[in-house]
């Protein structure tokens, strides 16, 4: 994917899960991609392929109806947040255990961004 193919891509939603054999690395060359939603299963390899998305501000992961299918680990999520320096809002549709693990990992990474130096983490109730 050439840069000219996605210059105006601001929002993207991929439904139904992303197999770990698929790389989303071409999205890292979309300079204006601000909001990304990946519903369904989201394995670590997929999150790792998104490392360094330059303009990503809001990321939503998982499926509200099937939170257990959101298969990423807290470590992969932390790596992604560290590499996407503009990321300020994170919404997870996952199990309570995964949500707690991600919160703990983000606290330990001590990443401070956004308004008042914080990252907003939303884990919607079921």
The residue that leads in pLDDT, 9 or 96, is 9
Specify which residues 13 forms β-bridges with: 37
The residue that leads in pLDDT, 67 or 28, is 28
Q: What is the CATH number of domain 3-122?
A: 3.80.10.10
Residues 64-121: tens digit of each pLDDT: 777 666 667 778 888 888 788 788 888 888 777 877 887 887 777 666 555 555 667 7
């Amino acid at each position: 994917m050439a840069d000219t193919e996605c210059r105006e891509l601001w929002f993207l939603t991929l439904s139904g899960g992303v197999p770990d054999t698929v790389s989303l690395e071409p999205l890292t060359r979309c300079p204006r991609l601000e909001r990304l939603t990946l519903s369904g299963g989201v394995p670590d390899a997929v999150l790792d392929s998104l490392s360094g998305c330059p303009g990503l501000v809001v990321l939503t992961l998982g499926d509200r109806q099937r939170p257990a299918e959101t298969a990423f680990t807290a470590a992969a999520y932390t790596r992604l947040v560290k590499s996407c320096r503009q990321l300020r809002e994170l919404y997870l549709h996952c199990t309570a255990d995964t949500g707690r693990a991600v919160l703990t990992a983000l606290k330990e990474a001590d990443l401070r961004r956004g308004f008042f130096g914080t990252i907003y983490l939303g884990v919607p109730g079921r």
